[in-house]
Amino acid sequence: KKKIAIMTSGGDSPGMNGVVRACVRMAIHMGCDAYCIYEGYEGLVRGGDLIRKMSWYDVRGWLSEGGTLIGTARCMAFFERAGRLAAAKNMILHGIDALIICGGDGSLTGADRFREEWPSLLDELAANGEFTTQELQPFRHLNIVGLVGSIDNDLSGTDATIGCYSALARICYAVDLIEATASSHSRAFVVEVMGRHCGWLALMAGVATGADFVFIPEKPREDNWREEMCSIVEHHRKIGKRKTIVIIAEGALDREGNKITPEMVKDLLADKDGLGLDTRITTLGHVQRGGTAVAYDRMLATLQGVEAVKAVLEATPDTKTCVIAITENKIVRKPLMEAVQDTKKVAKAIERQDFDEAMNLRDAEFSE
């Protein structure tokens, strides 16, 4: 019987529990044993009761739970070879030779490195006398499949990461709440949203709430952004708008690559010699990441979880590590490292302030 293990890694995202549920149940449906690795890579390195066999009923009700019920952790030990060796040993002790990992690009890169190193880890385990060559024979090929769980929607090669639409819904809901009080007092609000180096959440929240102005990392405004923002807000006020909403991504930059902070924007809106608006800052923080998944993320988690198990079962020793993506509403498999490398290209373009290139790359991601 094939033994497939599932783990969640990196920052949690709504929908991760749906992924685990789908993988566990699909694995069982296909006649395999399903395992969960608790606490991300930490569980793989420490083994013991952090690696647990799951039954069909163990994941009952998980679709409607937020966060990740099997836990996640930032594991330093897995960055060291000794940690990866311990991880390999624990997998073999449990008879596991296939891993499904749901996480962001960092977690998935770690997974690919683990797979690359796998044969040499087995050799070392044999040389240390932990297992005989015969015992290791069934484990010669490690299958790894990635699923992208992140609220940031920052991975190239997929239209939506699992969790991003839940976070977006949460932001829209929060902005709706803020708007009521903003309107009552005729105030301005600068709303900071998450996304790390990616502006997708901010941009889409701007579109979905009809915000007055948006700042994102990939496309800093021209040098005159102060005048531009103030004149737009002034115009909106003149035509009768009683509230002002400016959405700023936590990674927002100006064209020199300097951070634009909510405080800078607030000071500008509140400037007595300018608009003089009574302005507040709201940092939405982790409310964006917590809570239950919206229907889209539950659907994505389930369809992609099923596909991940299929990918594991169909993999041959020559199959590259793949990531399950959604493009143009189709669930597809893509080479993991290509998606990760394309993602890094955007970050590099932003770093060297080549914002046109950053935008082109982001556009390409969504028109693939």
* Burial grade of 2 (CB within 10 A; 0-12, 13-18, 19 or more): middle
Structure tokens at 209: 């709430």
Give the HSE-up count for residue 177: Cα atoms under 13 Å, Cβ half-sphere. Answer: 8
Q: Give the active site residue among 12, 97, 112, 152.
A: 152
Q: Is residue 152 annotated as part of the catalytic site, yes or no?
A: yes
The answer to whether residues 311 and 333 touch, using CB atoms and an 8 Å cutoff, is yes
Q: Does 16 bind ligand F6P (CB under 6 A)?
A: no
CB 317 → ligand F6P: shortest distance, Å? 33
Q: Does 195 bind ligand F6P (CB under 6 A)?
A: yes
Query: What CA–CA distance (Å, rounded) separates 81 from 168?
Result: 38
Backbone CA torsion sign across 191, 193, 197, 200: negative
Q: Pick from 8, 11, 15, 162: which binds ligand F6P (CB under 6 A)? A: 11
* 131 vs 296, beta carbon nearer ligand F6P: 296
Q: Does 40 bind ligand F6P (CB under 6 A)?
A: no
* 105 vs 179, beta carbon nearer ligand F6P: 105
* Residues of this chain, 136-175, that bind ligand F6P according to CB under 6 A: 150-152
* 331: enclosing H helix or E strand: strand 330-335
Measured from each CB, the residue nearest to ligand F6P is 194
Main-chain dihedrals φ then ψ at residue 227, nearest 5 degrees:
-65, -40
From residue 252, alpha-carbon distances to 123, 192, 205, 218 in Å are 47, 10, 14, 8
* 91 vs 175, beta carbon nearer ligand F6P: 175
Site string for ligand F6P, 283-322 (x = CB under 6 A): ------x---------------------------------
Residues involved in catalysis: 152
Contacts to ligand F6P by CB under 6 A: 11, 104, 150-152, 194-196, 250, 289
